[in-house]
Amino acid sequence: MSLSFQHYCASKSAVLHFNFKGLDVSNQEILKRQVALGVSGGIAAYKSIEVLRGLQRAGCDVRVAMTRHACEFIQPLTFRALTGTYVLVDDYAPDNPDPIAHITFSQTIDLFIIAPATANILAKMANGIADDFLTSTYLACTAPVIVAPAMNTTMWHHPATQRNVQRLKEAGVHIIEPDEGEMACGTIGPGRLSAPEQDCRESP
């Protein structure tokens, strides 16, 4: 039985980690639920493992794409072991089985989630810069896009970041607002990637 994208996300929000209630994408049906998980280079990258496992528990087939800086925090091998598929970092890597992966990858998914999304990634997406695999995939993607920002509180509040977030919202990107709490740098305020134990809420 096929479900609308909106109903599927709402019914699975407890295992998808985020509260998807209210996403206005009800006309798109998810059949195989092919999901791409994009991981950018912030300290919160380790939490993307929990996001991946939640998507898998929800019945999604997940493939992972990472930025080079994300690889400084967590190795692609971790995601490859969990998904059983090649983790994409660079279209032109010698071991990449698909030299135009940003096109084929982006055209075969039902949902694109970027978690965590750094200030740098938000800026690139908002301004159409495609200088790595993740941002190239975003520009080539026709599926719904969900972004979960994570960064220092001051960076999150900066007018440039807020302009970029607003521009992405206007482009139809769904933004999951960061949580408040203590940052890795010691700052307290909004900017934390949503913690599963805090955000795993069933939508009514």
Query: Which of the residues are catalytic?
Result: 185
CA angle 185, 113, 34 (to 5 degrees): 150
CA distance 2 to 95: 36
> Residue 180: beta bridge partners?
190
Three-class SS string for the chain?
CCEEHHHHHHHCHHHHCCCCCCCCCCCCEECCCEEEEEECCCHHHHHHHHHHHHHHHCCCEEEEEECCCHHHCCCHHHHHHHHCCCCECCCCCCCCCCCCHHHHHHCCCCEEEEEEECHHHHHHHHCCCCCCHHHHHHHHCCCCEEEEECCCHHHHHCHHHHHHHHHHHHCCCEECCCEEEECCCCCEEEEECCCHHHHCCCCC
- Is there a contact between 63 and 71 (Cβ–Cβ < 8 Å)? no
